[in-house]
Amino acid sequence: MVKNLAATYDVAVVGAGVFGAWTAYHLVRAGLTVLLVDQHGPGNSRSSSGGETRVIRASYGADLIYTRSTIRSLELWKQFFAESGQPLFHRTGVLVTAPSADSYLLATRETLAKAKYDFEWLNRAAMRKRFPQIVFDEDAAGIYEPSSGVLSARRGVPAVVDAAVQAGVRYETRRIEARELLPAKNVVYSCGPWLPSLFPELLRGRIRPTRQPVFFLGTPPGDQTPMPVWIAFREGAYSIPPLDGRGFKLAIDDHGPAFDPETGNRTISAADIRHARMILRKRFPLLRNAPLLESRVCQYENTSNGDFLIDRHPNRENVWLVGGGSGHGFKHGPFVGEYVAKQILGTGVTEPRFSLASKKTTKHRSVY
């Protein structure tokens, strides 16, 4: 964490998850020399960027900053997939539901209109007609984003790393210790749920890794019925339609207990399964008895309110801290990488919401 005078690289990026991969990619394309290091490899199963799929959606309540970030990120994801020849974006559409008078849903409608992002406001009757597989409450309404969908996460992150390496990035798989000197003028720590353990005095209580169960369920043979991504923030759950033969994905969005990404027990519990079955019975009754094909425990790394952390270390001018994906960060990888690159190059505008000073130790989730 001390500036190394014998610098071989302009920037060393520690952590090859979605934030680190895109940061390295943008930096090398800007002409800098870059070292990228990860202890388990890009998209590995312990990382928050691991897992088959991630949602990309623009619905963020009144948080226009994340709506605009999604729009920019979706543009860059699609451009990257087109250039790499890997079609890893699935345009399934995204449906966000809540009571029709819900303040978050109403704010989302205003924000999407302001951002000029394509969406539809659907009442319960319209949702029942279009999406008969989902059961909606009497007072429910929804925002449907037809241009949004799903990213293939496990394949997408290594693809970005591969492209960065082809562009000139040096990639290494090894563990980095907290006080290890790296041969670079600047160091970016984008270590996901490992970030608090590298900087415990600085980040204790400001980033909290939590345990999050995910389920993949079998659908009926030959079922090709189109389904959107479904998100119900107030219910703490979301689903992704069957893709790539993995089955119907159901995930719990409520923040779980504290979790260690390195040593935590990733066994699904009976209580986890009961919770998932309850959601299926209520919202997807045709799948209430669907066979469980796969299950896994991943993790979020939550800041106090859900905003990202992208800032300099307060005592090390050449060290940057990038993290706090908070469960919603994957989709924003291209934007975050671009933002970090501009900060290092001195060409970007600083966003106060991403600052370390804005991160409190008291939990109050406001970004979903």
Q: List pLDDT tens digits, range 282-316.
A: 999 999 999 999 999 999 999 999 999 999 999 99
Mean pLDDT across 120-131:
98
Q: List pLDDT tens digits, range 337-367.
A: 999 999 999 999 999 999 999 999 999 999 9
Mean pLDDT across 141-148:
98
Q: What is the pLDDT of residue 214?
A: 98
Handedness of CA 253, 241, 46, 57 (dihedral sign): negative
Region of residue 297 (phi > 0: left; psi between -120 and 50: alpha; otherwise: beta): beta
Q: What is the pLDDT of residue 18?
A: 98
Q: Give domain limits for the chain.
A: 89-149+208-300
Report the C-alpha gap between 361 and 305 in whole angstroms.
Answer: 10
CA angle 327, 342, 364 (to 5 degrees): 30
In the chain, DSSP assigns E strands to 9-14, 34-38, 53-56, 89-90, 94-99, 120-123, 140-145, 149-152, 170-173, 184-189, 207-217, 229-232, 237-240, 248-252, 292-303, 309-313, 316-323
Cα dist from 342 to 77, 182, 252, 256, 297, whole Å: 18, 21, 34, 34, 34
Report the C-alpha gap between 220 and 303 in whole angstroms.
Answer: 39
Assess whether pLDDT exceeds 80 at residue 224.
Answer: no
pLDDT bracket for residue 6 (50, 70, 90): low
Assess whether pLDDT exceeds 50 at residue 1.
Answer: no
Closest CA to 339 of 17, 33, 25: 25
Interhelix angle 153-166/64-84, rounded to 10 degrees, is 70
The CATH number assigned to the domain with range 89-149+208-300 reads 3.30.9.10
Mean pLDDT across 66-75:
98
Q: List pLDDT tens digits, range 263-283.
A: 999 999 999 999 999 999 999
DSSP string, 35-63: EEEESS-TT-TTSTT-SSEEEE----TT-
pTM: 0.96
